[in-house]
Amino acid sequence: MIRVTIFNEYVQEQLNKRVFPFQEKWNEEGIRHMAARADEIAAAHEGKAIHDTLKALVEEDSEVEVRHIANLEMPECGLTEEVLEDTDVLLWWSHIAQEAVPDEVAMRVRDHVQRGMGAMFLHSAHMCKPMQFLLGTSCTLRWREGDSEHLWCCNPTHPIAKGVPVCIWLEQEEMYGEFFDIPKPDELIFIGGFSGGEVFRSGCVWNRGYGKVFYFQPGHETYRSYFQPDIRRIIQNGVRYLANPEHRQEKLECIWVKE
């Protein structure tokens, strides 16, 4: 079994019901705007939260078991050493509270990826701290809500593209556009084209130490992308591709060798 942990920020889903401690720094209009969206998110996710959608999605693969659901308000964001040791692949969805993840937690995730854990960063997680710490770039981009997207495969034999057509149409997706400030991907698999004319490197893999990172762009919180079979298939393929328990290292350190 592939052991999956899902981290969902889990803020936007609740913003119409309660007050988060870290929202103090945000402006009020932004909070009202986001809170108003909570119902839309619930509608898109069939009354549940984003982590529920992702859990059902990855467990469609009978070889996958979700071992932990983590969120921002759990102690250590729910990502303790024990949880990460028990994880082959970590899925990460986050958006409006990236700064609320402590550096220490983000570096712990980074260290586990370097030692062999897989990490899949989804949609607006492009600017979460663990992704920035693993890639070393700002991961900034151009964006706008309300486009449709054609998602094209430019690497048709890649395991993550298995079983999906060369083009997937997403009737509604948030536009993410170049320049996307990422290191040159080790494997560029998908490029998105948006109805507004923008393009985006939407599916990218990087090797980091003994682990791999997969960034995948679709998945705006109020849209139905994660319910589209081809998108589900890509994420499921990604979990398989990232799982790498046989190479998990206990520790990475320099090795002194005598003459």
Least distance in Å: CB of 132 to a copy of itself? Answer: 9
Least distance in Å: CB of 77 to a copy of itself? Answer: 18
Residue whose CB is less far from a copy of itself, 74 or 127: 127
- Could you list the residues that contact a copy of itself (CB under 8 A)? 103, 110, 114, 116, 127, 133-138, 140-144, 146, 150, 152-154, 156-157, 166-167, 169, 175, 177-181, 183-184, 186, 188, 191-199, 201, 206-210, 244, 247, 252-259
Pairing status of strand 118-122 against strand 89-93: parallel
DSSP letter at 74 equals S
Rounded CA separation 16/36 (Å): 7
Residue whose CB is less far from a copy of itself, 22 or 152: 152
Least distance in Å: CB of 185 to a copy of itself? Answer: 9
Helix (H) or strand (E) holding 169: strand 167-177
Residue whose CB is less far from a copy of itself, 78 or 177: 177
Least distance in Å: CB of 181 to a copy of itself? Answer: 5
Least distance in Å: CB of 199 to a copy of itself? Answer: 4
Least distance in Å: CB of 216 to a copy of itself? Answer: 16
Residue whose CB is less far from a copy of itself, 19 or 254: 254
Residue whose CB is less far from a copy of itself, 15 or 170: 170
* Token pair in block for residue 43: 């509608």
Residue whose CB is less far from a copy of itself, 146 or 229: 146
Environment class of 222 (CB within 10 Å of its CB; exposed 0-12, middle 13-18, buried 19+): middle
Rounded CA separation 221/40 (Å): 8
Residue 29 has a CB neighbour count (10 Å cut-off) of 8
Least distance in Å: CB of 1 to a copy of itself? Answer: 20
What are the angstrom distances between the C-alpha of 52 and each of 94, 98, 223, 227?
Answer: 14, 20, 15, 12
Residue whose CB is less far from a copy of itself, 78 or 130: 130
* Token pair in block for residue 63: 């070889």
For 128-138, b/e burial (b = at least 16 CB within 10 A) is: bbbbbbbbeee
Nearest to 38 by CA among 13, 18, 19: 13
Residue pair 139/110 in contact (Cβ under 8 Å)? The answer is no
